[in-house]
Structure 1
C-alpha cells in the first residue's frame, strides 16, 4: 500500500472553482466514505478549507487510486473532470509526507505562517477517525504533521512571516475607515475563524462587537468571551445599520448578506465587509453600492496578498520552518521504512523459535532420561545461541531498511530464509519472544 494525495488550492485554482469543490458537513462525510469504499483505497482523510481541498489516501495502485479519487471529486463537486483535472496536484509516497508537513506549518497558506490550518488538519483527522476511514498509516502521518506544525510555530517566528487572513483584511479596513478603535463590528458565524476574527478586532481596539450565528448558543458563547453581544442570524439585517465593519465566516452554501439587505440598511457612514467564507457569504453585488467596500478571498488572491515572498526576518523564519519540515520528513520516512521490515524480522524469529522447539522436542524423545533441570539448561543455552546469531543480522537489517532502498534488504531476507511475514501466528509468537528474550538495551523494531 502507498500514500496518495490529490487536491487543489489557492495556488492552483481560482476561488470560484475552490468554492464549487469545497465540501463540509454531510457532503464531506459522504465523500469521505465514497472514496474509502473504492477497491483501490484502504484509508482516507479529507482536508477541506477555504483555501484547499485535499484527499489523502492509502492506495494499492497509483494509477487506479488517481483515477478513482479524481472521478469522485468531480462527481461530488459537479465540476466536469476535464475542467477539474488541470487544477489538481498529485503527490505520491514521500511527496505526500512533505506536502502535509508543509501545509501544517502554514508554509503553503495564502498568507505564509497562517496558524489556522493546524486546527483544520486536526478536525480532518478527528472526522476520519470518527467515521472509521483513517487507519494506522494516516493516523501516524496526520499526528506527526500536527506535531511538526506545532514545532515550527514554537521554534520559529513563522507566525510573523505573514499576517493572518483576518489581519490582512483588517489592515485593508483601516485603509478605508481609518483607525478601527471605537468602531462597531458585526461578526457573522461562531466557528474557529469567527473566533479568530473577534479576537483580532478586540486587539485592534474594537470594543462594540455583535456576533450572529444560526445556533444562538454558540454566538452567545463567543460573545461572552470577547465582551460582545449575541443575536440570531435573522437579526443580521437590522445590525447592519449600526456596523462599520462586517466579517462573515459561515460558508453555508448560500448568500447570508445580500445586496438588498445592505442597500436597505440605514448606515451612518462607510461600510467595510470582509467575506472569509467559502462558498461566499456576501453577495458580490454589494460592491455596486455607494460607500460599501467588499474584500473576499478572491479579491485577496487577485491582489496577491500573502503570495509574494517576505523579506528579512520573515524570510528567515520561513526558511527555518522549511528546515524543520525537511528534518522531520527525513525522520518520518526513515522510521516508516524501518517499520516495514518488522514483519520480516518477526517472521525470522518465529521460524527460529519453531526450529528450536522442534529440535528440543526431538532431543527429549531420544534422551528421555534427561532430568528437568538439565533439560532447562539445554533449552536456555540453545535459545541464547539462536538469539545471539539472529541479533546482529536483525539489527542491521532494521538499520539498513531505513535507507531509501530499504525494502530490498527485507526482500533479500525473505528470499534467503523463505519467510512469510504475513502469517499472523508467527508474528504474534515471535513478537512476544523478541520482547522477552532479545538482548537488553538493543535496538527494537
Structure 2
C-alpha cells in the first residue's frame, strides 16, 4: 500500500487535524484539502520554519504514517508560491487527469469544513474563494476541461479498451458518494443494460439507484453481484479493501466464459486489491493507472493558456492582499483625523458660542472638507504603492509619520476579521 493511501484522512481525522493545527502556536488559520492524489494542509503561520516543523508532525500524527517515512513525500510552498500552487490545483493543472473539474468541489468542501470549524479566517477564506473563481475562469475561457476528462469518464474509457463498449453491459457501482454517483450516472447515460448500486447504507444506494432506473442491494450482496457484472466501479471511504483478490477470484470462477471483468477503482485508499491486476480474466484500472494513462494527453495549448491565467491571477491576488494589509492603517489615520476635527470644532463652539446653526454647519463642513482633501491623495497613493512588490513598508511609514497608535490599527484589523467571519457564517 502506498504512502498516499495510508495517509488518506477521514472527515473526522481532517477535523481533528484542523483543530490541532489551530491549537499549535505558529498557526492562526488552517484548511485541509484531500483528493485522490493529494493531502494538503494550508495554514497561516507567524514563523515559517517552526510552522513547517509543527504542521509536518501533526500531519504525520493524524495520518498514522511515521514522520521519517512521510517527510520524503512532503512538499512545502509559502506566500506567492503557495497561492500559485492552489490556483494551479483549482484549474486542474495538478490533477492526474489534467483539467478535471471535480477538484473545484473538493476545494469548496475544504473551505466549508474550515469555516464550519472556524479554522479558516479572513486570509484563507480569501485565498480559497479566489482559487474557486480562478478555476471557474480557466474552465470558461479555455478548453482545459475538454482536454482532460473527469476521472470517471477517463477511467471508464481506459476500462472499455479491454471490456468493450458499455451499451448492453451489466454494471455494479460500489459506494454512493459524489464520485460513485457520477460513475453511476455516466454508466446509465452510456446505456448499460443493468445498473446495480451497493452501499453500506442501503437507503443511500436506493436513492441513487432509483434516480437512474437501477437496482439497489445491501453491501453484503457485493460478492454475488460481482459474479453477474461486466463492469465494476468502486469508490468508497473504507479504510480497508472492499474487494480482495480472493473475492474477485471467486467471482471470476462463476463467470466462466462471460468475458473479461472490468474493475475501475477510484478510491484512495484503494478499494480493490492490487493483486487483481495479476488475475486472468480481470482487468483493473486504478488511480496509478489513470495517472500514467493521462500523462500523454494532447492539451499543450490549453495548459499554456491556463498557466497564463494562473500567473496573472497570482499577481493580482498578491497586489490585492498587500493593499488590504494597509487598509487598517488608513482607517486608523482617518479615524484620528476625524477625532481631531471633532475636538477642534468643540473648542470652536466654546470660543464662539454665538454662532447660529447655519454658520456652525458651514464651518463644520468646511473643516471636514479640507481634511478629506488633504488625506485623499496620500491615502489613495499609499494603497497603490502598498500593492506593489516590496510595498509592505508603506504601512509602517504611515504609522510613523502620523504617530498612529498601534493598538488603534490592531483594533481595526480585529474588527475587520470578526466582520468577515460573521459574513462567512451568514452565507452558509
Q: Secondary structure at the match of 1:254?
A: coil
Q: 1:358-437 to 2 correspondence within 5 Å?
A: 358-420=343-405, 422-423=407-408, 427=412
| 1:353 Cα deviation after fit | 1.4
Q: Secondary structure at the match of 2:68?
A: helix
Deviation digits for residues 198-217 of structure 1 (CA, Å, limit 9, x no counterpart): 23223433231111111122
* Structure 1 stretches lacking a partner, 5+ long: 1-14, 432-445
Q: Secondary structure at the match of 1:413?
A: helix
Q: Is the 8 A contact 2:17 2:62 kept in 1?
A: yes
CA distance in 2, matches of 1:247, 1:150: 28
Aligned match for 1:229, one of 174, 195, 215: 215
Deviation digits for residues 265-324 of structure 1 (CA, Å, limit 9, x no counterpart): 2213321111111111112233343311222113444xx22233x43xx22222222222
| 1:424 Cα deviation after fit | 6.7
Q: Secondary structure at the match of 2:76?
A: strand
- Equivalenced residues, count: 411
Deviation digits for residues 129-176 of structure 1 (CA, Å, limit 9, x no counterpart): 111111111111111111111121122111122222223322232221
CA distance in 2, matches of 1:227, 1:329: 45
Name the CA shift for 1:320/1:425 in 2 (closer, same or farther; >3 Å): closer
CA distance in 2, matches of 1:172, 1:425: 56
Aligned match for 2:88, one of 87, 93, 102: 102
Match status 1:317 vs 2:305: no
Corresponding residue of 2:34? 48
Match status 1:197 vs 2:183: yes
Aligned match for 1:278, one of 245, 250, 268: 268
Q: Is the 8 A contact 2:202 2:218 kept in 1?
A: yes
Corresponding residue of 2:21? 35
Please identify runs of 4+ aligned residues in structure 1 that moved more than 4 A: 424-428
Q: Is the 8 A contact 1:183 1:206 kept in 2?
A: yes
What is the root-mean-square deviation of aligned Cα atoms in Å? 2.0
Name the CA shift for 1:288/1:108 in 2 (closer, same or farther; >3 Å): closer
Q: Is the 8 A contact 2:10 2:237 kept in 1?
A: no
Corresponding residue of 2:421? none
Corresponding residue of 2:295? 307
Corresponding residue of 1:241? 227
Q: Provide the TM-score with structure 1 as the length reference.
A: 0.88
* More divergent stretch after superposition (368-377 vs 121-130): 368-377
CA distance in 2, matches of 1:285, 1:335: 51
Q: Is the 8 A contact 2:328 2:409 kept in 1?
A: no
Corresponding residue of 2:423? none
CA distance in 1, matches of 2:207, 2:311: 40
Name the CA shift for 1:240/1:394 in 2 (closer, same or farther; >3 Å): same
Q: Is the 8 A contact 2:328 2:410 kept in 1?
A: no
| 1:386 Cα deviation after fit | 0.6
| 1:190 Cα deviation after fit | 0.9
CA distance in 2, matches of 1:199, 1:150: 23
* Structure 2 stretches lacking a partner, 5+ long: 417-428
Q: Secondary structure at the match of 2:304?
A: helix
Corresponding residue of 1:122? 108
CA distance in 1, matches of 2:235, 2:269: 10
